Amino acid sequence: MTFQWIQIPYALLTLFIILNYGMLMTALIQKIGARVGGRYGIPIWQNYIDLLKNIALRSKISHGVMFYLGPVFRLTGGIGLILFVPTIYGSVMHQNFSFAGDLILALYFVFFGTLGMALGAAESGHPHSAIGVSRGLSQVTAAELPLALGVFAISLQYQTLNITDIVAAQQGSIFNWTLFTNPLATVAAMFAFVGTMMRAPFDVVLAPQEIPIGPPTEYHSSYLALMQTNRVLYPIAKTVIYMNLFFGGATSWPEFFVKIFAIYMVSVFIGVVYPRFRVEQSIQFFLKWGLPVGVLAILMV
Amino acid sequence: MKDMDKSFRKDTETEFPLREEMRPRTVTAPDGQVIEIDPLRDYFCEEAPKVHRKSYSAIVEGFYNWARANSLWILGFGTGCGAIEMRPLMTPRFDAYRYGIQWRPTPRQANLLIISGYLSVKTLKRAIRAYEQMQQPKFVVGLGSCTINGGMYWDSYNTIKRLDDYLPVDLYIAGCMPRPEALLAGLMELKKIIRRGEAEGANKYAENFDWYKANQKSVIKDWDMPDYSW
């Protein structure tokens, strides 16, 4: 696909839709959680107000250049993930900057934000940040292994590294989805999905009661606003990849919204049922259960 | 009313020794270089806080104030028995989250410091540090009679009587203890104050910085921190 200038406003439109959807969806999920607990829950627009409040703070403290760049890198990870992955299959407007090898780039961008955060949090000099980041990096690294294996398995299966082609191969019937044609790869990748969504049992990185609140301890005002933006963008961007690779992609926005919500709820359900893992437990869990499934998926292909 | 009696105020005649890690010392670096370290001067910023102006446009400031009022992040820092009255606000019965009130674990991200009950001099030191690390604009709520006039701790040898002498208080919630309903009503009142643009405690603190510091130092016996904890 050759580059055209009109792609830029189209991609920004996609970003805008996803951002607003993310703001409302994360609030909705918090609200559902509150209702389950018998509370009324936050207003559905609370995320917007929090964001505005943080931008409106009058004073800011910097700890150095990397402290600025940490949230920027993190947001770059989320936005980059959205911009280089086709959002709606078959739509000219929401193809974004998808290209032949975008699967590899997506794998890289999934990791990018965490690395950026590590640099920024280290500069802030707070011990809780350092503890949180070292936990986060080791956990994400372990969780990425099954994802990488699952992705290799399906790129072998479809003989391509282009996400659009993979989505195209899954069209037609629900039984063409990778979920049914290659269940092992899906299961392996879902290990990584649950492991990197920052929800229980894998949320020891943030651990509000133990190391308040991990990497972003020192972040405030606009820095925190950037990270909040990423907090709603990034999980959706990641879910988009999973939807495209394993759940048949989406051909329209309503389908997109429903599928993203359903896939996101997987991690929420697991999160409310299981208590928090310690870091060595979660790494052990990924290596013991995630990795063999991933290897098996490759062997099956 | 002020904490004036002699037994309570600091004995300014005798020097209080600094904690060991705060004393100036010479250190030999791994490469053989000898360095003089004065922790209080080298590790901390000595600058005084600044007064931050409001936004130039009244409409923008009003909009910001609306956002501030509807997104109150409380520092999870309980000082006295009142801390236990905050817990019911998080749970189904009183559920403060529906009003945009949340608890944050770090002072950097919080806007509202609730001094929940009596404040011993030892805790006052920590409360000051926590308050100063919060970002502007920030609000203080005094919860319970002990923050207004000492309450049942009027005679205490180690509890401050008037919180307003040490930190700029925006709102008091009277009672011993106030029930969660009172706390919730107080927070609603604080929202109105913020909406009116009258919650400028942080600027008041910066303007009268010397007065607040003199008061704080007159009761805190082992003052071994910078004047303003950035």
Task: Say if B206 falls within a structural domain.
Answer: no
pLDDT, residue A201, reads: 81
In angstroms, rounded to a whole number, what is the distance separating the alpha carbons of residues B3 and A290? 63
Instruction: Specify the number of domains making up chain B.
Output: 1
A54 in a structural domain:
yes
Task: Spell out, as residue ranges, where chain B has pLDDT lower than 70.
Answer: 1-16
In a domain, B37, yes or no: no
DSSP state letter for B21: G
Assess if residue B119 is contained within a domain.
yes
- Which residues of B, range 99-118, sit inside 8 Å of A by Cβ? 100, 102, 104-106, 108-109, 111
CA dihedral of residues A249, A254, A258, A264 (deg, nearest 10): 70
Q: Which domain, by its residues, includes A175? A: 7-300
Task: Give the count of domains, chain A.
Answer: 1
Residue B16, domain member (yes or no): no
Identify the band that residue A198 occupies on the pLDDT scale cut at 50, 70 and 90.
Answer: confident
Give the lowest-confidence range in A10-19, A94-103, B52-61. Answer: A94-103
Per-residue DSSP letter, A94: T
pLDDT in tens, A24-81: 999 999 899 888 888 888 999 999 999 999 988 888 887 878 888 888 888 888 888 8
Nearest CB to A42; choose among B92, B98, B136? B98
Residue B193 in domain: yes
Cα angle A85, A254, A49 (rounded to 5 degrees) comes to 80
List chain B residues with CB under 8 Å of A221.
Answer: 135
Whether B10 is covered by a domain: the verdict is: no
Tell whether the torsion through CA atoms of A25, A31, A32 and A33 is positive or negative.
positive
Q: How many helices (H) and strands (E) does chain B have?
A: 8, 7
Put simply, the answer to whether B137 touches A208 (Cβ < 8 Å) is no
Neighbours of A38 (CB within 10 A): 10
Residue B215 lies in a domain: no
CA distance B141 to B168: 9
Residue A267 lies in a domain: yes
Best of B53, B61, B73, B108 to disrupt the A interface (most A CBs within 10 Å) is B108
What is the least distance, in Å, from the CA of A242 to any CA of chain B? 32
pLDDT of the residue at B1:
47
In angstroms and rounded to an integer, the radius of gyration of the C-alpha atoms of chain A is 19
Q: Distance between CA atoms of A189 and A185, rounded to whole angstroms?
A: 6
- Distance CA(B91)–CA(B97), nearest Å, equals 9
**A43, B64: Cβ pair inside 8 Å?**
no
Contact assessment for residue B73 and residue A213, using Cβ atoms and an 8 Å cutoff: no
Stretch A251-257: mean pLDDT? 88
CATH code assigned at B194: 3.40.50.12280
Q: Is A32 on the interface with B (CB under 8 A)?
A: no
Asked if residue B126 is part of any domain, the answer here is: yes
Joined together, the tokens standing for residue A281 give 């437990």
* pLDDT at position B172: 93
Size of interface A-B (CB pairs under 8 A): 77
Q: What is the mean pLDDT of residues A130-134?
A: 83
CB contact under 8 A, B98 and A56: no
Tell me which residue in A39, A56, A218 faces B108 most closely, judged by beta carbons: A218
Q: Do A42 and B100 touch (CB under 8 A)?
A: yes
* Distances in whole angstroms, Cα of residue A173 to Cα of each of A91, A167, A170, B216: 19, 12, 8, 72
Identify residue B91 by its one-letter amino acid code.
T
Chain-chain contact of B67 with A34 (C-beta, under 8 angstroms): no
Q: Do the domain assignments include residue A2?
A: no
User: Which residue in chain A has the smallest CA separation from B89?
Assistant: A39
| Domain assignment present for A1 | no
Residue A39 lies in a domain: yes
Confidence label for A83 from pLDDT (cuts 50, 70 and 90): confident
Residue % of chain A over a pLDDT of 90:
10
pLDDT confidence of A251, banded at 50, 70, 90? confident
pLDDT at B114: 92
Q: In terms of residue numbers, what domain contains B75?
A: 58-199
A206 domain-assigned: yes
> What is the spatial distance between Cα B82 and Cα B95, in angstroms, rounded to a whole number?
17
Q: Is residue A32 part of a domain?
A: yes
A172 in contact with B at a CB cutoff of 8 Å? no
B8 or A237, which is more confident?
A237
Chain B residue numbers with beta carbons less than 8 Å from the beta carbon of A217 are 106, 108
Full DSSP string of B172-219: EE-SSSPPHHHHHHHHHHHHHHHHTT---HHHHHHHTHHHHHHHHHHH
Instruction: Dump pLDDT digits (tens) for A259-289.
Output: 999 999 988 888 888 888 888 888 888 888 8
pTM value is: 0.86
* pLDDT confidence of residue A7: 83
The pLDDT assigned to B217 comes to 86
